[in-house]
Amino acid sequence: MEVLLYYLLVSGATLALGALLGRWLFLPLTWHKATRAYYLIILLSAWIVPLVGIVIPYIDWTEFFAPNQETMALPLFPLELSSAVAEKVSPLWWQLLLPILLCCIWAVGFLIRVIRIVSALLQLLRLRRHCTTQILADGSPIEILPHGHSAFSAFGRIYLPPSEETAEWLAMYAHERQHARDKHYIDILLAELSLALAWWNPGMWLLRQDLNLNLEHIADQAVLAQKIERKKYQYILLQCATENPITPLYNAYNKSHYLKERIKMMNRKTSPRHAIQRLWLALPMALLALLGGNYLLARPMAERILLSQTVADEDPIYETCDQLPEFPGGNDKLITWMMQELKYPKEAEESSIQGRVLVRFIVEKDGSISQPKILQSADPLLDAEALRIVRKMPKWTPGKNKGKSVRVSFVLPVQFALQAPQTTPQSLYVVDGKVLTDGNSIDPNNIAEMRIDKSQRKVTVNGTTHDLDALGLQSVIYITTK
C-alpha cells in the first residue's frame, strides 16, 4: 500500500506540473501537433517512467547531501544499544490504518471512473445499433446517426447526423475525419484512464481539459486548411452548440464549453517557429519522474522483496534471543569504530543543532545490516549521518536462538551533542597507562581501543591514586593507541 501511494504521489506531481506548464507555455501556441506530443509525453512519463525508476539500483541520496568532514563527530560519544524496538515511536494508525484508509478512498474514486468509462462504451454500442453505415464517394465509411444526435468520432469511426452534403455537413465531416485520421481517440482514452488513476489530482482534470481542447484545435485547423471561410465555419460551430452533447470519451463536434477558446485560436496569428523548442521541457520533467520513482519506490520495493522472502514462520525477526548479535569486538569496539567513522554535519555544527537519533536496523542471519530506519528524528542532517554510519557497519556476529542463527531487531540511539569548552575535564583519561588531563589532545584516528568505566571512584595509576569525586570527574576513559 505504501508503494502504491508513493507511485500515485510521483505520477500526480508529474501530471500537475505538466498541466501547469502546458497551459502556460504550450496551449497558447498555434503549433497544435507539437502541443499534442507534449501532452502524450507527460501522460506516458507520469505512469511509465516512475516504474522504470524501480529497475534502476536505488540511489542513496543521503550520500550526496550528507556532510563530508574529517573532524571527529563528538568530543563525548553517548551511545546506547538495545534489542527491543520502541513501538510508541511509530503508532499503529500511522503505519497501517492511514495507508489503508487512503488506499480505500482512492479505490472508490478509481472504481467510479472505471464504471463511467465502461458506461460510455456501452452507450456507444447501443447507439451504433441504430446507425446506418454509408459509403461516401471517396470510399470512406461513415455512420449515419438517428435524429437528435450531433456529429462525433470514436475509435477511428465517424458518426454524422442525416443530412444532404451541405456546407455545414461537409464542415462536420472534415472536422471528424481529422480526428479519425490522427487517431485522437488514443489521446482521449489515455487521458480518461489517467483520470481514473489520478481522479484526486486537480492537475489531471486540468490536463484532460486542455488536451481535449488542443485536439479540437487540430481538427479546426484541418477544416480551415480546406479553404472554408473562417467566419462561416465559426457560425456553423455556434449553430451546433445547442445540440445534444456526447459523452467525454469521444471527439464531439459540438463541445460548447470549448467554442470560445476555439474561435479565439482561429483568429490568432501563427506562433513563431522557434516556440516549438519549448517541447524540450518535457524531457527534464520525465527525468524528475524517473528520479522520483527511484527515490520513493526503489528502496521500499527492495525492502519488501527482502521481507517477503524472509517473513515465513521459520525465519521471523526476533527482538530478543538466547545469544544477542554483537559488533566485532563488542560494544567497546563499536564505540571506537563509530567515533572514528562518524562525522558531525558541518551545517548542523554551525547552526548548533543537537539531538538524539534512534535508528532501527536488523542484524541478519549472516551478520549483515539491513533495513535501517529512523524511529526518532532529531534533524534531517543528523538523521542522514546516523543512517550513513549504520549502513557502513561491518558484519556483526549474528544472534542465535536454540543454537541457530536468527534475525534480530536492534535500536541504536545516537546522541549528537556539541560540547562547550571546559576548563576542567569531565573524565580522567588513561592513555597507554599514563594519565592525561586534557582528552582533546588525543587524535581519534590513533585510537586502537577505548573503554569507559563509570563504576570506579578511585583509580591508581603508576602508584598515584586519583579520587574522581575530589577532582569533580564522572568517569575513567582507558585508551590504547595504535
* Mean pLDDT, residues 50-58 taken together: 73
Q: How far apart are CA 463 and CA 458, in angstroms?
A: 12
**pLDDT over 90 at 189, yes or no:** yes
* Mean pLDDT, rounded, of the chain: 80
Count of alpha carbons within 13 angstroms of residue 165, beta-carbon side: 4
Q: How far apart are CA 341 and CA 335, in angstroms?
A: 10
**Residue pLDDT, tens place only, 190-224:** 999 999 999 999 999 999 999 999 999 999 999 89
> In the prediction, which pLDDT does 421 show?
54
> In the prediction, which pLDDT does 475 show?
83
Provide the grid cell at 115: 464504471
Out of 12-26, 247-261, 318-332, give the one with best mean pLDDT. Answer: 12-26
Helix axes 2-21, 184-197, angle to 10 degrees: 130
> In the prediction, which pLDDT does 184 show?
94
> In the prediction, which pLDDT does 432 show?
83
- Report CA 216 to chain centroid distance, whole Å: 34
Provide the grid cell at 283: 524531457
**Residue pLDDT, tens place only, 389-414:** 899 999 999 988 888 888 888 888 88
Give just the sign of the alpha carbon dihedral 53, 54, 59, 61: positive
Q: How confident is the model at residue 88 (pLDDT cuts 50, 70, 90)?
A: very low
For residue 329, the 8-state DSSP code is T
Choose among 381, 378, 369: nearest CA to 411: 369
Helix axes 167-181, 202-224, angle to 10 degrees: 120
**pLDDT over 70 at 85, yes or no:** no
Kindly state the percentage of the chain with pLDDT values over 90. 23
pTM (global) more than 0.85 = no
Choose among 464, 474, 454, 456: nearest CA to 434: 464
**pLDDT over 50 at 253, yes or no:** yes
Q: How confident is the model at residue 70 (pLDDT cuts 50, 70, 90)?
A: very low
> In the prediction, which pLDDT does 75 show?
38
